[in-house]
A and B are shown apart, each in its own frame.
Chain A
Amino acid sequence: MSLLDFQRALCDLTLNPAFAGSVLRQGGSRLDGYELTANEQVRLLAVVRQPGMSVNCTLARANRFAPIADAFPLTCSLLKPHLRPLLDELWSFHRPDGYQLGSEADAFAGFLRQKVASGEMNFTYAEEVFRYECAIWDLIRLVQRSALESAPAALEDTQVTVRFGHNPRILIGCLERDELPPNLPPGDYVVRLILRGDSLEVEMAD
């Protein structure tokens, strides 16, 4: 049990910089929940004192963020100033459960959906941009699920429409260039997402 708990503690310290900080400040008592030998406890206390522990925590966060940024690049670009506290909140309860970090994007999507539902996603353009990327992500997941079935569903020409309250061509164009969008007048716009084979077509009406 001891080696397993040593590894569990090192993993927890890596995933949770706040926990590492509390061990650094308060000492070994914060490790009481783990079954450790005296030597293992000494090692963990030595590790949290090393600057390299911050590198570990940062690299783990970067690796966890990569699949989120891949799936929701525009949302992440738009939320950039608010992203760190949002991720801190998400990762305070969600832990990665696979070496491919495959649940990170889904967890992020679920977390932001809750924020939208509770009215906490009150950043300009955030709701419509997130809705657009969720629709794309849902289609990707649909294709992946279909591939799992022995008789894949016919997805050709599957269409989804997403409504925008501001000009999506300008909005998405700016975010794709990693630029903050300008003030846009409100309007009613429809973007159509169409699956054609392995590719996704996006139709925007001006």
Chain B
Amino acid sequence: MSNETPACGVGVLFNPALADFVQSHSGSLDYLAVIPDRFWVDRGSGSHPRFVETSAGRTVLVEAARSLPVVLHGIGLSICSAGLFDREYLSQLARWRERYSCPWVSEHLSFSRIGAGHETNAGIALPVPYDREILDLLLPRIEAAQAVLGCPFLLENNVTYVTFPEQELSESQFLNELTRRSGCSLLLDLHNVYTNSRNHGFDPTKFLLELDLSRIVEIHVAGGSEMMGFYTDSHTGGVAEDVWYLLSIVARHCVNLRGVTFEFHESTWPLLRADGVLAQIARARSTLAASCAV
């Protein structure tokens, strides 16, 4: 999968439990998605050097990048933070994008960081209301991100356990307007959609059909678990059966889809192991093939 080939591939989101798997099964993958923040220590704005790359996992990444395209899935930009837009972080993403010739870079449509200078972090990715004020905040930031990164920039739809009353737009309206006005693409996390639909009681297929699916470049699939009466996006084990169904109905409409990424939490590796991960990859391929053959 290069920048020029539009074919849709299947990949995994790297975690430390996958180190051996990536080395021995790279032939089963079309690309490797990585959270670059797991390979560096960010010492905070204004530190010199700010980003210190760690040795852990680096060898695996460098080796994998020789045979596989690498796509970046950042977690530190906090692009929806009202008080800060971290251009240093963006530049670091751009350095990595250039180093690994990444065909695209993605981030999350949420915030966790508060305040420039001495920051506070919420500990989780928090949602923003779907208001025009947020669109106005995001549009110049996305423009800057696209210019600095020099590749497609994707934003991932959020998972949220609370909802805000009196929002000006629905989530699908917000995402459609955001992508139309900014030119950015979407990373559609189907497990986030499924989780939200379970917890907030809506029809996920209706939500998906309201989306401009031509903006979707990457899809995430995963599993979850129950906690405190909620269904959570815990990335436990294999992909939830309902998420495979959502992929089967949506994939053929995503005309610009480049990748389907399986993500799981490393603590659930014992539930999967190499055979289990290979089975998830094979299922993603067969679901894509069946969907696109319809």
Contact = CB atoms under 8 A, between A and B. Distances in A.
Q: Are A and B genuine complex partners? A: yes
Interface of A: 3-4, 6-8, 10-11, 14-15, 39, 42-43, 46-47, 50-56, 58-61, 63-64, 95-102, 144, 147-148, 198
A97 B55 contact: no
**Residue of A39, A50, A59 with most partner-chain B CB within 10 A:** A59
Nearest to A61: B123
Interface residues of B, number: 45
Nearest to B118: A97
A47 to B, nearest CB: 5
B294 to A, nearest CB: 36
Interface of B: 37, 41-42, 44, 49, 52, 54-55, 75-76, 78, 81-83, 111-115, 118-124, 126, 128-129, 133-134, 137, 160-166, 199, 227-230, 232
Nearest to A50: B162
Contacts of A50: 161-163
**Residue of B42, B113, B124 with most partner-chain A CB within 10 A:** B124
A58 B162 CA distance: 13
B228 A99 contact: no
Nearest to A100: B42
A4 to B, nearest CB: 4
Nearest to A145: B52
Contacts of B81: 7
Contacts of A59: 123-124, 161, 232
Contact of A43 (B55, B118, B165): B165
A100 B230 contact: no
Given A7-B83, A15-B120, 11 more contacts: A3-B134, A6-B82, A8-B114, A39-B166, A52-B162, A52-B163, A59-B232, A95-B121, A96-B121, A99-B112, A148-B49
Nearest to A10: B126
Contacts of B122: 10-11, 14-15, 60, 96
B123 A15 contact: yes
9 contacts: A7-B126, A11-B122, A52-B160, A52-B163, A54-B228, A55-B227, A99-B112, A144-B41, A148-B52
Contacts of B229: 51
Given A8-B115, A43-B129, A50-B163, A60 B123 contact: yes
B214 to A, nearest CB: 30
A14 B228 contact: no
Contacts of B78: 99
Nearest to A147: B52
Contacts of A61: 123
A55 B228 contact: yes
